[in-house]
Amino acid sequence: MRALIQRVKKASVSIDEIRHSETGTGMLILLGIEEADTDADIEWLCGKISKLRIFDDENGVMNLSVCDISGEIMVVSQFTLHASTKKGNRPSYIKAAKPETAIPLYERFVDFLKKETKLKIKTGIFGAIMDITLINDGPVTIMIDSKNKE
């Protein structure tokens, strides 16, 4: 499971030019799920995300978590995070989970993150063509992979 985490001032998701959800200060998480992912990946990743200290304290040092600042979180499914560009120029997505595997894991991820952070989690719609707008704060963008534990 891969998460691309962006510290944002605000973010929104629109589908067919209609605003679906939006957040203020917090995180936009693009989540890629692969066939080999399990609940153990969800628990490890949510634990890491909830404690990730990427928000400034009163001294301007990244020392606070999204929970510490009572921030907002948006999670958007993103199968292209598992793109392989090893051969040729057209990415392969063979490692990305098929919807029958990915959707339940995505939903469990959102539920577990909500439980872990005690924050409201906003989402896109799994499998939809989405327009994402954001103001990346910093910019701060971090990739976490549950298989590599980094």
Q: For the chain, what is the largest distance between any 2 Cα atoms, rounded to a whole number of angstroms?
A: 48
Domains parsed from the chain with CATH numbers: 2-145 (3.50.80.10)
> What is each CA distance from 123 to 31, 93, 104, 137, in whole angstroms?
11, 22, 14, 19
Residue 57 has pLDDT above 90, yes or no: yes
Angle, CA 77 vertex, CA 111 and CA 143 arms, to 5°: 95
Q: How far is CA 124 from the centre of its chain?
A: 11
Q: What's the whole-number mean pLDDT along residues 54-62?
A: 97
User: What pLDDT, in 10s, does the model give residues 13-33?
Assistant: 999 999 999 999 999 999 999
Q: What are the b/e assignments for 34-53, b being 16+ CB within 10 Å?
A: beebeeebbebbbebbbebe
Binned at pLDDT 50, 70 and 90, residue 149 comes out as: confident
Average pLDDT over residues 72-96: 93
In the predicted structure, residue 150 carries a pLDDT above the cut 90: no
List 80, 85, 133, 141, catalytic entry: 80
State what percent of residues in the chain have pLDDT above 70: 99
Angstrom distance (rounded) from CA 50 to CA 65: 7
Q: How many residues does the chain have?
A: 150
pTM of the full predicted structure? 0.94
Check residue 51 and give its pLDDT: 97
80 is an active site residue? yes
Q: What's the number of CA atoms in the CB half-sphere (13 Å) around residue 43?
A: 3
Per-residue confidence (pLDDT) for residue 127, from 0 to 100: 87
Instruction: Indicate the SS3 state at residue 41.
Output: helix
pLDDT tier, 55 (very low <50, low <70, confident <90, very high otherwise): very high
Residues 117-130: tens digit of each pLDDT? 999 999 999 889 99
Count CB neighbours of 97 within 10 A. 22
